[in-house]
Amino acid sequence: MVSSLDGFIAKKDGSVSWMHSNDNYEKGIELTKDYISEFLKSIDCYVMGSRTYEHAVELGWPYGEVPVFVLTKRELESDKKSVQFISGDLRRIVNDQLKNQYKNIWMVGGTMLTKEFLRHGLADEINITIIPTILGDGTLFFDYIGKEIPLHLKDVTAFKDGMVEMVYEINKK
């Protein structure tokens, strides 16, 4: 997930036009296409909510042919063979269907889906990139999960454009 420093993932109107940085941090590494490509190769499938799916289609589909499972109760269509629309109990979908087929399941965006993954203990890691912007208002990333979740910092990467990526392992109790 990408977030503002104050924890928002979108402006109040839903826009994400602020999700870039023109900052210059000399000690950071360059966020290159090769860096992104290597990272994306590690993902076996994506899980996202319907609003994130619709937003991704609008912005220009970044997921290629990697399988994408869109959780929705709505009737949606896609011209992409890699997209499958599913509904039902999230725990069953992840534990009974997806974990049997895929090693690295990547949950993409959305406050509601993030909250449910965390509440049900379905996430192993949180990977968040902070954009050097304070929005002051909008859609919160974690939006009142309702329980405490201890984390372990696994990795931090600072980029030349001022963005900082933090990877946290979720301590399972």
Q: Element (H or E) spanning 108, and its range?
A: strand 105-108
Q: What is the pLDDT of residue 24?
A: 92
- 112 versus 125: the higher-pLDDT residue is 125
Give the per-residue pLDDT at 45: 97
| Average pLDDT, integer, range 4-29 | 91
Quick check: 128 pLDDT over 90? yes
The whole-angstrom separation of Cα 128 and Cα 65 is 24
Confidence of residue 96 (pLDDT cuts 50, 70, 90): very high
Average pLDDT over residues 36-49: 91
Residues 93/78, Cβ–Cβ less than 8 Å? no
Alpha helix positions (H), 31-150: 33-41, 50-59, 90-92, 99-101, 111-119
As a whole number of angstroms, the distance between CA 152 and CA 142 comes to 17
When pLDDT is cut at 50, 70 and 90, the band that residue 20 belongs to is confident
Query: Any idea what the Cα angle at residue 116 is, between residues 94 and 85, rounded to 5°?
Result: 50
Which of the four pLDDT bands, split at 50, 70 and 90, describes residue 173?
Answer: low
How far is it, in rounded angstroms, from Cα 115 to Cα 109? 10
Answer with the residue of higher pLDDT: 111 or 91: 91
Rounded-to-integer distance, Cα 137 and Cα 81, Å: 37
Asked if 111 and 141 touch (Cβ cutoff 8 Å), the reply is: yes
Percent of the chain topping pLDDT 70: 99
pLDDT, tens digit, 9 for 90 and up, residues 52-92:
899 889 888 889 999 999 999 999 989 999 999 999 999 99
Q: pLDDT tens for residues 133-157?
A: 999 999 998 878 888 999 999 999 9
- DSSP letter assigned to residue 88: S
How far apart CA 81 and CA 64 sit, in angstroms, is: 10
* Average pLDDT, rounded, for the chain: 92
What per-residue confidence (pLDDT) applies to 144?
83
